[in-house]
Amino acid sequence: MPIITCIDDLQRLAKRRVPRMFYDYADSGSWTESTYRANQDDFSALKLRQRVMVDISQRSLRSTLLGRSYRMPVALAPIGLAGMQYPDGEIHAARAAETFGVPFTLSTMSICSIEDVAANTTQPFWFQLYMMRDRDYIARLIKRAEAARCSALVLTADLQILGQRHKDVRNGLTVPPRLTLENLIDLATKWHWCLGMLRTRRRTFGNIAGHVKEASNLDSLSAWTAAQFDPSLSWDDVAWIKARWGGKLIIKGIMEPEDAGAAIDAGADAIIVSNHGGRQLDGAPSSIRALPAIVAAVGHRTEVYMDGGIRSGQDVLKAIALGAKAVFIGRAFLYGLGAMGEKGVTTCLDLIHRELDITLALCGLRNIRQVSEKVLWSERPGDP
């Protein structure tokens, strides 16, 4: 077993173990991938202040999100097709999150259904909603999330139409993969994945198959998204959702202070500053760059979370320093999942927790609540 020291190690292992079509689906952004790259690069550009001679023997990363206490301010982001990275992937990830003590968010486009995940976990998880044209189906989906005791609904606002990811087009992404010669050659080297897939019955979109009338073209994700996702979604629809969902509502995909204000006016309990991991509007700034203006505008009115580019505990600390109440991790846990299932997701969370804890200490702080912009090195003239 290779020694895992960081998320990059998990990524390398995932690349070896996950069929190329699904690995590429994860490791890609839209068009030139400039926003995808910026999400990580802009974290690296932020520098930390080293502080010394402070008693750092007692430390805490515990954080409260929407009234519940978690082990650190990190949640697992919703990821479509996670059950194609690893057989029964959503169940593995949800279990790892539950045991570790952080929230897990199940995507509408998951392979394991809401009911599957609920039956295999004990703690409530969060459910991410994509709005579709078939409102009857969406109303039933919301009821299913409620029946499964999901404790928050995450409405994704930035994917009513799909940004093109070149690799998915080239690979002809389908679920399950079509047995072309190219795919068969690739699958021959991924026998662990193949065996797992043969053993499970969960090989299509669990929340959709059998629940939507026109689910015939489900295997082609891009065609299905284009046909089913509702491009007319607007702020007015939030009232429709709230009339059916009585619990906490989080709106994901906010990149502008004006939209953040609109989300709160529409009734969101929290927002996620996100550019969908650089998979939608290529050319948008990184999420970490967009965060401070949004926190300045609405941070006093709501909980502001962020995602995009988090690959380490240091990145988490930097996001908290710039005003995020918590962060979501997407690819970081997905690589862990592809590499080793539940164990890989746990490894990812352990790595991030340890690095966040040590970085906090090396910045001379004891409690994550003490983190502010002061931990960031500023090269503005006149700064001490």
Ligand X SMILES: Cc1cc2nc3c(=O)[nH]c(=O)nc-3n(C[C@H](O)[C@H](O)[C@H](O)COP(=O)(O)O)c2cc1C
Q: Which residues bind ligand X (CB under 6 A)?
A: 25-26, 39, 77-80, 107, 109, 128, 156, 252, 274, 276-277, 279, 307-310, 329-332
Active site annotation includes 192: no
The least CB distance from residue 157 to ligand X, in Å, is: 9
Of 92, 192, 211, 276, which one is the catalytic site residue?
Answer: 276
The least CB distance from residue 374 to ligand X, in Å, is: 26
Judge contact between 371 and 317, C-beta under 8 A. Answer: yes
Q: Which two tokens stand for residue 285?
A: 């700034």
Does 315 count as an annotated binding residue? Answer: no
The least CB distance from residue 384 to ligand X, in Å, is: 33
Does 156 count as an annotated binding residue? Answer: yes
The least CB distance from residue 357 to ligand X, in Å, is: 20
78 or 247: CB nearest ligand X: 78
Judge contact between 204 and 175, C-beta under 8 A. Answer: yes
Does 149 count as an annotated binding residue? Answer: no
160 or 365: CB nearest ligand X: 160
153 or 365: CB nearest ligand X: 153
The number of residues in the chain equals 384
100 or 365: CB nearest ligand X: 100
Does 80 count as an annotated binding residue? Answer: yes
By beta carbon distance, the residue nearest ligand X is 330
30 or 128: CB nearest ligand X: 128
17 or 276: CB nearest ligand X: 276
The least CB distance from residue 149 to ligand X, in Å, is: 20
Does 307 count as an annotated binding residue? Answer: yes
The least CB distance from residue 55 to ligand X, in Å, is: 34
Given the structure tokens 């002061």, which residue do they identify?
374
Does 257 count as an annotated binding residue? Answer: no
70 or 335: CB nearest ligand X: 335
Cα separation, 77 vs 254, whole angstroms: 15
Does 34 count as an annotated binding residue? Answer: no
The least CB distance from residue 130 to ligand X, in Å, is: 7
Q: Which two tokens stand for residue 261?
A: 């204000």
User: Which residues, in sequence order, are CB contacts of 113 under 8 Å at separation 6+?
Assistant: 206, 207
What is the three-state SS of the chain? CCCCCCHHHHHHHHHHHCCHHHHHHHCCCCCCCHHHHHHHHHHHHCCECCCCCCCCCCCECCEEECCEEECCCEEECCCCCHHHHCCCHHHHHHHHHHHHCCCEEECCCCCCCHHHHHHCCCCCCEEEECCECCHHHHHHHHHHHHHCCCCEEEEECCCCCCCCCHHHHHHCCECCCCCCHHHHHHHHCCHHHHHHHHHCCCCCCCCCCCCCCCCCCCCEHHHHHHHHECCCCCCHHHHHHHHHCCCEEEEEEECCHHHHHHHHHCCCCEEEECCHHHCCCCCCCCHHHHHHHHHHHHCCCCEEEEECCCCCHHHHHHHHHCCCCEEEECHHHHHHHHHHHHHHHHHHHHHHHHHHHHHHHHCCCCEHHHCCHHHECCCCCCCC
Does 206 count as an annotated binding residue? Answer: no
Active site residues: 276
> Residue positions in the annotated binding site for FMN?
78-80, 107, 128, 130, 156, 252, 274, 307-311, 330-331
> Residue positions in the annotated binding site for glyoxylate?
25, 165, 276, 279
